[in-house]
Amino acid sequence: MIRVRFAPSPTGALHIGGARTALFNWLFARHHGGKFILRIEDTDRERSTQESNQAIFRGLDWLGIDWDEGPNNGGPFGPYFQTERLAIYHDYAQKLIAAGQAYHCFCTPEELAVKRAAAEARKEPPRYDNSCRRLAPEEVQQRLARGDKHVIRFMLPAAGESIVEDLIRGRVVFKNEVLDDFVLVKSDGFPTYNFACVLDDHLMEISHVIRGDDHLSNTPRQILLYQAFGWGLPRFAHIPMILGKDRARLSKRHGATSVIAYNDIGYLPDAMINYIAKLGWGHGDQELFSRQELIESFSLEGVTKNPAIFDLDKLNWLNGQYIRNILPERLVDLCEPLVVAKYGRQDFTYLSRVIRLFQDRLVLIPDIVNLCGYFFEKVTAYDPKGAEKYFKKDNAKAILSALGQRLGQLDPFVKEHIEAVFKELAKEMNLKLGEVIHPCRLAISGRTETPPMYDVVELLGKEQVSARIQSALAYL
RNA sequence: GGCCCCAUUGUCUAACGGCUAGGACGCGACCCUCUCAAGGUCGAGAUAGGGGUUCGAUUCCCCUUGGGGCUACCA
**In CATH, what number is assigned to the domain containing residue A421?**
1.10.10.350
Last residue of a domain, one of A342, A375, A408: A375
Task: Looking at the structure, tell me whether residues A13 and A67 fall in a common domain.
Answer: yes
Which residues fall within 8 angstroms of residue A350, CB to CB, at 6 or more apart? A375, A459
> Which residues of A does the annotation mark as catalytic?
252
Q: What is the mean pLDDT of chain A?
A: 95
Protein residue at shortest CA distance from C1' of B6: A306
Q: Beta A235-239 vs A208-212: how paired, if at all?
A: parallel
Asked if residue A50 is part of any domain, the answer here is: yes
Asked if the Cβ of residue A359 lies within 7 A of any atom of strand B, the reply is no
Residue A107 has pLDDT above 90, yes or no: yes
Classify each residue of A441-470 as buried b or exposed e, where b means 16 or more C-beta atoms within 10 Å of its C-beta.
Answer: bbbbbbbeebbebbbbbbbbebebbbbbbe
Contact A237, A208 (CB under 8 A): yes
pLDDT digits (tens, 9 = 90+) for A364-418: 999 999 999 999 999 999 999 999 999 988 899 999 999 999 999 998 999 999 9
Between CA A217 and CA A239 the distance in angstroms is 13
Task: Looking at the structure, tell me whether residues A321 and A331 fall in a common domain.
Answer: no
Q: Beta A3-6 vs A35-38: how paired, if at all?
A: parallel
Taking the stretch 31-70 of protein chain A, residues with Cβ within 7 Å of any atom in nucleic acid chain B are: 41, 43-44, 47
**In CATH, what number is assigned to the domain containing residue A362?**
1.10.8
Closest CA to A149 of A182, A103, A191, A108: A108
Contact A154, A96 (CB under 8 A): yes
Asked if the Cβ of residue A323 lies within 7 A of any atom of strand B, the reply is no
Q: What pLDDT band is residue A257 in, cutting at 50, 70 and 90?
A: confident
Asked if residue A13 is part of any domain, the answer here is: yes
Task: Looking at the structure, tell me whether residues A393 and A428 fall in a common domain.
Answer: yes
Residue A243 has pLDDT above 90, yes or no: yes
Q: Which nucleotide is nearest to A247 (CA to C1')?
A: B67
Task: Looking at the structure, tell me whether residues A404 and A417 fall in a common domain.
Answer: yes
Q: Which nucleotide is nearest to A47 (CA to C1')?
A: B74
Which residues fall within 8 angstroms of residue A231, CB to CB, at 6 or more apart? A202
Asked if residue A111 is part of any domain, the answer here is: no
Q: Beta A102-105 vs A151-154: how paired, if at all?
A: antiparallel
**In CATH, what number is assigned to the domain containing residue A34?**
3.40.50.620
Strand B positions within 7 A of protein Cβ atoms: 1-8, 10-14, 22-26, 34-39, 67-75
Q: Whole domain around residue A367: which residue ranges?
A: 326-375
Between CA A274 and CA A28 the distance in angstroms is 15
Q: What is the CA A212 to C1' B46 distance in angstroms?
A: 27
Last residue of a domain, one of A308, A325, A342: A325
Q: What is the CA A310 to C1' B39 distance in angstroms?
A: 27
Task: Looking at the structure, tell me whether residues A405 and A469 fall in a common domain.
Answer: yes
Q: What is the CA A312 to C1' B28 distance in angstroms?
A: 21
Last residue of a domain, one of A309, A325, A341: A325
Q: What local confidence, expressed as pLDDT, does residue A123 receive? A: 79
Between CA A126 and CA A60 the distance in angstroms is 39
What is the number of domains present in chain A?
3
Which residues fall within 8 angstroms of residue A281, CB to CB, at 6 or more apart? A24, A298, A302, A303, A304
Task: Looking at the structure, tell me whether residues A265 and A300 fall in a common domain.
Answer: yes
Reduced DSSP (H G I as helix, E B as strand, rest coil) percent helix, strand, coil of chain A, to 5: 55, 10, 35
Q: Which nucleotide is nearest to A190 (CA to C1')?
A: B73
Q: What is the CA A301 to C1' B55 distance in angstroms?
A: 32
Task: Looking at the structure, tell me whether residues A293 and A363 fall in a common domain.
Answer: no
Asked if the Cβ of residue A427 lies within 7 A of any atom of strand B, the reply is no
Q: Which nucleotide is nearest to A217 (CA to C1')?
A: B70
Task: Looking at the structure, tell me whether residues A244 and A320 fall in a common domain.
Answer: yes
Q: What is the CA A246 to C1' B49 distance in angstroms?
A: 22
Asked if residue A181 is part of any domain, the answer here is: no
Measured in degrees and rounded to the nearest 5, phi and psi for residue A308 equal -115, 145
Residue A255 has pLDDT above 80, yes or no: no
Between CA A162 and CA A149 the distance in angstroms is 31
Report the length, in residues, of chain A. Answer: 476
Q: What pLDDT band is residue A56 in, cutting at 50, 70 and 90?
A: very high
Which helix H or strand E contains A183, and what residues bound it? strand A183-185
Asked if residue A448 is part of any domain, the answer here is: yes
For the question of an ipTM over 0.90, the answer is yes
Q: What pLDDT band is residue A125 in, cutting at 50, 70 and 90?
A: confident
Task: Looking at the structure, tell me whether residues A369 and A401 fall in a common domain.
Answer: no
Residue A396: how many other CB atoms lie within 10 Å: 20
Between CA A144 and CA A150 the distance in angstroms is 8
Protein residue at shortest CA distance from C1' of B34: A434
Asked if the Cβ of residue A280 lies within 7 A of any atom of strand B, the reply is yes
Asked if residue A289 is part of any domain, the answer here is: yes
Between CA A207 and CA A235 the distance in angstroms is 6
Q: What is the CA A363 to C1' B56 distance in angstroms?
A: 48
Taking the stretch 76-115 of protein chain A, residues with Cβ within 7 Å of any atom in nucleic acid chain B are: 107-109, 112
pLDDT digits (tens, 9 = 90+) for A273-305: 999 999 999 999 999 999 999 999 999 999 999
Report helix, strand or coil for A37. Answer: strand
Asked if the Cβ of residue A217 lies within 7 A of any atom of strand B, the reply is yes
Q: What is the CA A314 to C1' B43 distance in angstroms?
A: 21
Q: Which nucleotide is nearest to A179 (CA to C1')?
A: B71
Task: Looking at the structure, tell me whether residues A405 and A462 fall in a common domain.
Answer: yes
Task: Looking at the structure, tell me whether residues A337 and A320 fall in a common domain.
Answer: no
pLDDT digits (tens, 9 = 90+) for A319-329: 999 999 999 99
Q: Which nucleotide is nearest to A183 (CA to C1')?
A: B73
Asked if residue A139 is part of any domain, the answer here is: no
Asked if the Cβ of residue A189 lies within 7 A of any atom of strand B, the reply is no
A175 annotated ligand-binding residue: no
Q: What local confidence, expressed as pLDDT, does residue A45 receive? A: 92
Task: Looking at the structure, tell me whether residues A314 and A346 fall in a common domain.
Answer: no
Q: What is the CA A248 to C1' B20 distance in angstroms?
A: 37
Cis peptide before A79 (omega within 30 of 0): yes
Report helix, strand or coil for A40. Answer: strand
Asked if the Cβ of residue A451 lies within 7 A of any atom of strand B, the reply is yes
Number of H helices, E strands in chain A: 20, 11
Q: Beta A161-166 vs A35-38: how paired, if at all?
A: unpaired
Asked if residue A364 is part of any domain, the answer here is: yes
Asked if the Cβ of residue A306 lies within 7 A of any atom of strand B, the reply is yes
Asked if the Cβ of residue A183 lies within 7 A of any atom of strand B, the reply is yes
Q: What local confidence, expressed as pLDDT, does residue A117 receive? A: 85
